């Protein structure tokens, strides 16, 4: 399971996206596209980026557009971020990385969503790595 407290080495393409009705998004989660609205990523979703803000749209409607005051979430669309990647080692350098959920990065493609590449080993846990991602 990836840690939500991401350490960005670099990030860009910051944008506000409308949020799906009845979802809670936490800072650091991978986001997926559900009918044009951001939600915590579900395996198979189109990858939108990494959430930079928390938002609770429980009981809300599908988000209005692009403002933090109207059910929007701030998203980093590309960059390099430190996360845990399950079962990864330095031997995985430049391998594709997938998400099986909003908080889980894996090296297995089956039914999962491509989110980037293993960029480099990072300090910390054995599976800590730098992920290069681009959702543009």
Q: Which two tokens stand for residue 60?
A: 């809300």
pTM: 0.90
116: its two tokens: 């980037």
Q: Say whether 90 sits in a helix, a strand or coil.
A: helix
Check: CB of residue 14 under 8 Å from CB of residue 1. no
Nearest partner of 67 among 50, 58, 77, 55, judged by Cα: 55
Return the DSSP state at 103: T
Summarised one tens digit per residue, pLDDT across range 52-99 is 988 888 888 898 554 555 658 999 999 999 999 999 999 999 999 999
Boundaries of every domain in the chain: 7-77, 80-134
Pairing of strands 24-25, 55-56: antiparallel
């Amino acid at each position: 399971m990836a840690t939500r407290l991401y350490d960005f080495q670099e990030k860009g393409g910051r944008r506000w996206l409308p949020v799906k009705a009845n979802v809670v998004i936490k800072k650091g989660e991978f986001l997926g596209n559900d009918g044009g609205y951001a939600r915590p990523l579900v395996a198979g979703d189109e990858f939108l980026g990494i959430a930079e803000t928390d938002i609770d749209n429980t009981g809300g409607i599908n988000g209005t557009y692009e403002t933090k005051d109207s059910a929007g979430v701030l998203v980093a669309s590309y960059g390099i971020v430190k996360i845990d990647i399950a079962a990864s080692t330095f031997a995985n350098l430049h391998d594709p990385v997938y998400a099986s959920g909003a908080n889980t990065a894996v090296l297995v493609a089956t039914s999962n969503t491509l989110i980037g590449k293993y960029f480099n080993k990072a300090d910390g846990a054995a599976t800590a790595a730098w992920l290069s991602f681009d959702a543009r």
